[in-house]
Amino acid sequence: MSRRNEIIERIRSLQGLPASAVQILNMIQDPDIDIGELTKIIEFDPGLTANLLKLANSAYFGMPRKVNSVREAAIRLGTNRISQLVIASAIAPIASKAVKGYDLPAGDLWTHAVAVAIGTEKMGLALNLKLPDHAFTAGLLHDIGKIIMGTFIEVDASPIMQLAFNEGVSFDAAEREILGIDHAEVGSLLLAAWKLPTDITEIVRYHHIPDEAEHGSQVLEMVHLANNLCLLGGIGSGMDGLNYRPSRIIVEKYNLKPKITEPVVMQIVTGLEGFHSWFNQ
């Protein structure tokens, strides 16, 4: 018996993003955004402000000196980065917890999320692609469905594991087979409920099966690659391990070789080091 409907029902009952985050994300869509107003809304939420400043000062964003105010961060980083940081700051408290169902200790899912976000951007750079602004965020959110599947729903993992590891079925396909839905679709439904744009929800939904997406995109392809590279690197892999199937079509399309992807793996690890002081809190 499929648990699909029960799982989808559960998504609806979950709390959304903090109101300030939603308000800010809508504001940032506006090309004539007023930085002063944006700053005010962010500063109204002390948790968001603190997280945002910590992230803005992480080595990844390469600030030459310490940023002390939201206003300074907004001016120096630009509204695109600020919107990424707002989402990251809003997600971090939820994504940093242990995800029991996937055997991920506290912090691991978040590390993986940031690693894939960084990897998506770096993979794009390595291939000289001009990725749209939502690339980082799509990478960051790709596995958000695992939080629902692994925390809020008490899934008995053993039949999924059995199918995945004994029969060579990819882990996402095993989830679909046993539960009627996989963590990728759950994530996309959650984000849709949070009113995130379809550009992002589509990527989240198809990150393991990009060849099946109706509207393929370069960001989807880069998230797929970055995710697989992170799994190979052991960055935030849980009981699902490396039991996923990379798309051969994408590898051929970009004529990918180890000399392109291995430096990206390295850059991901280096990029993560810049975030570390932040993870460990």
- Which residues form the interface with other proteins (CB under 8 A)? 103, 108, 161, 165, 168, 170, 228, 231-239, 241-246, 248, 251, 256-263, 265-266, 269-270
Query: CB 107 → other proteins: shortest distance, Å?
Result: 11
Q: Which two tokens stand for residue 260?
A: 């392109």
Which token pair is 143? 């596995």
Decide whether 18 or 274 has the Cβ nearer to other proteins.
274
CB of 164 to other proteins, least distance (A): 8
- 58: which 2 tokens? 């992480």
Residue with Cβ nearer other proteins (49 or 243): 243
Considering the complex, state which of residue 197 and residue 241 has its C-beta at the smaller distance from other proteins: 241
Taking the C-alpha atoms of residue 216 and residue 206, their distance in angstroms, rounded to an integer, is: 9
Going by the DSSP 8-state scheme, the letter that residue 15 receives in this structure is -
To the nearest whole angstrom, how small is the minimum distance from the Cβ of residue 115 to other proteins?
Answer: 10
* Closer of 161 and 192 to other proteins (Cβ): 161
Closest approach, Cβ 277 to other proteins, in A, equals 14
DSSP, collapsed to helix, strand or coil, labels residue 104 as strand
Q: What's the sign of the alpha-carbon dihedral 177, 158, 166, 238?
A: positive
Cα separation, 91 vs 240, whole angstroms:
22
The residue among 39 and 111 lying less far from other proteins, judged by its C-beta, is 111
> Shortest Cβ distance from residue 5 to other proteins (Å)?
29
Could you tell me the smallest distance in angstroms from the CB atom of residue 158 to other proteins?
Answer: 10
Specify the residue for token string 């940031």.
114
122 CB-near residues (< 8 Å, 6+ apart): 226, 264, 267, 268, 271
In whole angstroms, give the CA distance from residue 230 to residue 153.
Answer: 26
Nearer to other proteins, 79 or 237 (CB): 237
